[in-house]
């Protein structure tokens, strides 16, 4: 039985004072949470979350990583640096990275591999735009994004990874995919992996992301192939994030 994983994605939000209150609030409400919980925070706050969350049930991670191990890459952050802050997870291929920073499937696959080489668990984001959904290519897009990772790292790499299905049209828009729409894509993803390795497919955590809130989390998480969520906006409120965690 797969355990649900709820991961917050703070994006470029927060400051030392607000983070302290947010983390305090989440920690205080974890008593009745059964799911795995993690937060992905901006790089400068990794030391803060490590200090605050060490020894708790909440894991932490980053939102991006360099594909390179080290070198003359001004402004970049390596996977080994994330290890120094005891990150467990790192998000790779978030649609904002793909759309705003031009990250290709190939680059995302390199970042995924760099994260795994350093022992981090990549959360690989995949998902289609509204235009792609409306032209009927959702599965082709998601397959292409996953195939780049499979070509570089192989299906066995998914034994130490998480996939987050995040339809771009649902991110930050308040327009959540219906449980049926999300489940259909999750089942497609798991079926694709099952064709390569049944054990890996059965154990693979596939999160849904895109306007998940306390009010809609349960109906999403009850779907057979939805194993929790990657939570943006709602992860910035302890109360709302905890409501989602409790639905997991």
Instruction: Please give the positions annotated as active site.
Output: 94, 166
Quick one: which segment of 73-81, 146-154, 219-227, 228-236 binds ligand PGA (CB under 6 A)? 228-236
Minimum distance between the CB of residue 148 and ligand PGA, rounded to whole angstroms?
Answer: 20
By CB under 6 A, residue 9 contacts ligand PGA: yes
By CB under 6 A, residue 230 contacts ligand PGA: yes
Rank residues 79 and 210 by Cβ distance to ligand PGA and give the closer one: 210
Rounded CA-CA distance 88/34 in Å is 19
By CB under 6 A, residue 166 contacts ligand PGA: yes
Rank residues 154 and 172 by Cβ distance to ligand PGA and give the closer one: 172
Find, among 164, 170, 158, 169, the residue nearest to 212 by Cα. 170
| Burial group, residue 76, by CB count within 10 angstroms (0-12, 13-18, 19+) | middle
By CB under 6 A, residue 128 contacts ligand PGA: no
Residue 98: φ, ψ to 5°: -65, -45
| Burial group, residue 148, by CB count within 10 angstroms (0-12, 13-18, 19+) | buried
Minimum distance between the CB of residue 235 and ligand PGA, rounded to whole angstroms?
Answer: 7
Rank residues 85 and 165 by Cβ distance to ligand PGA and give the closer one: 165
Tokens of 95: 């649609």
Please work out the total of residues on this chain that contact ligand PGA, with binding judged by CB under 6 A: 13
Beta bridge partners of 45: none
Minimum distance between the CB of residue 21 and ligand PGA, rounded to whole angstroms?
Answer: 20
By CB under 6 A, residue 53 contacts ligand PGA: no
Rank residues 10 and 200 by Cβ distance to ligand PGA and give the closer one: 10
Taking residue 225's Cβ as centre, other Cβ atoms within 10 Å add up to 20
By CB under 6 A, residue 209 contacts ligand PGA: yes
Helix (H) or strand (E) holding 182: helix 179-194
The residues, ordered by sequence, that sit 6+ positions from 99 with a Cβ below 8 Å of its Cβ are 168
Contact positions vs ligand PGA (CB under 6 A): 9, 166, 171-172, 209-212, 230-234
């Amino acid at each position: 039985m797969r355990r649900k994983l709820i991961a917050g994605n703070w994006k470029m939000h927060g400051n030392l004072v607000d983070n302290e209150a947010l983390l305090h609030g989440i920690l205080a409400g974890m008593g009745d949470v059964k799911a795995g919980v993690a937060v992905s925070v901006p790089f400068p706050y990794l030391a803060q979350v490590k200090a605050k969350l060490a020894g708790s049930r909440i894991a932490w991670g980053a939102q991006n990583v360099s594909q390179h191990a080290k070198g003359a890459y001004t402004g970049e952050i390596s996977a080994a640096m994330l290890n120094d802050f005891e990150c467990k997870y790192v998000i790779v291929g978030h649609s904002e990275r793909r759309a705003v920073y031009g990250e290709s499937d190939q680059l995302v696959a390199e970042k995924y591999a760099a994260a795994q080489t350093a022992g981090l668990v990549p959360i690989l984001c995949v998902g289609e735009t509204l235009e792609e959904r409306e032209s009927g290519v959702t599965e082709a897009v998601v397959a292409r994004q996953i195939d780049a990772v499979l070509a570089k790292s192989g299906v066995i790499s998914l034994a130490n990874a998480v996939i987050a299905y995040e339809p771009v049209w649902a991110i930050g828009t308040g327009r959540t995919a219906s449980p049926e729409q999300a489940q259909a894509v999750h089942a497609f993803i798991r079926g694709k992996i099952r064709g390569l390795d049944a054990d890996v497919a059965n154990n693979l955590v596939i999160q849904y992301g895109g306007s998940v809130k306390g009010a809609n989390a349960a109906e999403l998480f009850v779907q057979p192939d939805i194993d929790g969520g990657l939570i943006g906006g709602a992860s910035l409120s302890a109360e709302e994030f905890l409501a989602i965690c409790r639905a997991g």
